[in-house]
Amino acid sequence: MSLEQAKQVAAYRAVDEFVKNDSIFGVGSGSTVVYAVQRLAERVETENLKVVCIPTSFQAKQLIIKHNLILGELETNPVIDVTIDGADEVDRNMTLIKGGGGCLLQEKIVASCSKKLIIIADYTKDSKKLGDRYKKGIPIEVIPMAYMPIKNKIISIYGGDIKLRNAIAKAGPVVTDNGNFILDWMFTNQDLDWEKVSNIIKLIPGVVEIGLFVNMCHKAYFGQPEGSVIERSV
């Protein structure tokens, strides 16, 4: 079974267990969420469900539109029943690294408005400690003019290395859906108190959001190589 199939089984399982009729649904971002939206569209069609979808990125909005689902927004639907999203890594405490695809800010806003945040991922994201499996570091969304002082401050407090994320098909840095830059912090100490780290980094002027999601995830589904799904709850 391919990695894509592992993502798909996790996504389908989560949508089948958590999406109900007459509900508000947060749509995460990334490649795994594509399968969740696919499954949701199938269920909406066959079961005639009414589900209002709140996107966490431009990509999520496009997925909702492509599948003819109902597009909502936080202004009219500030309380979300369940959000299903991917992750770059999930540790034993269900602390997440997110933002590998640059969408962490809106994802965190939507997750914070959700009664439940459900994570869907393939087996490569399931780890003991952050950094065991995801080697690209913790994404941090920053205001462009402040990227250098922020980088220096984080290194002076915690060490490690920080790279300004570069775009692939554009010269220069990645610009997020919100017009900001992304720093990827390759930390060296895997035993940090991630809640504390998150709070300290967020206080640095110019930091918009950090891709550490602490105490937010309700349940995670990991698609396995042979097609089964491992579930983990807090």
Contacts with ligand R5P, residue ranges (CB under 6 A): 28-32, 85-88, 98-104, 107
107 given a catalytic annotation: yes
Cβ closest to ligand R5P, residue 52 vs residue 138 = 138
State the minimum distance, in angstroms, from the CB of residue 233 to ligand R5P: 19
Phi-psi region of 12 (alpha: psi -120 to 50; beta: other; left: phi over 0): alpha
The nearer residue to ligand R5P, 31 or 77, going by C-beta atoms, is 31
Minimum CB–partner distance for residue 129 and ligand R5P (Å): 18
To the nearest whole angstrom, how small is the minimum distance from the Cβ of residue 207 to ligand R5P? 17
Q: Is the dihedral of CA 123, 87, 61, 50 positive or negative?
A: positive
CA 9 to CA 223: how far, in whole Å? 6
Cβ contact 218:83 at 8 Å: no
Query: Which of 45, 47, 75, 107 is labelled catalytic?
Result: 107
How far is CA 224 from its chain centroid?
20
Least distance between ligand R5P and beta carbon 86 (Å): 3
| Shortest-Cβ-distance residue relative to ligand R5P | 30
C-beta closer to ligand R5P: residue 153 or 214:
214
Q: How far apart are CA 95 and CA 202, in angstroms?
A: 17
Nearer to ligand R5P, 72 or 101 (CB): 101
List Cβ neighbours of 122 (8 Å cut-off, separation of 6 or more). Answer: 3, 6, 7, 10, 32, 222, 223
Residues annotated as part of the active site: 107
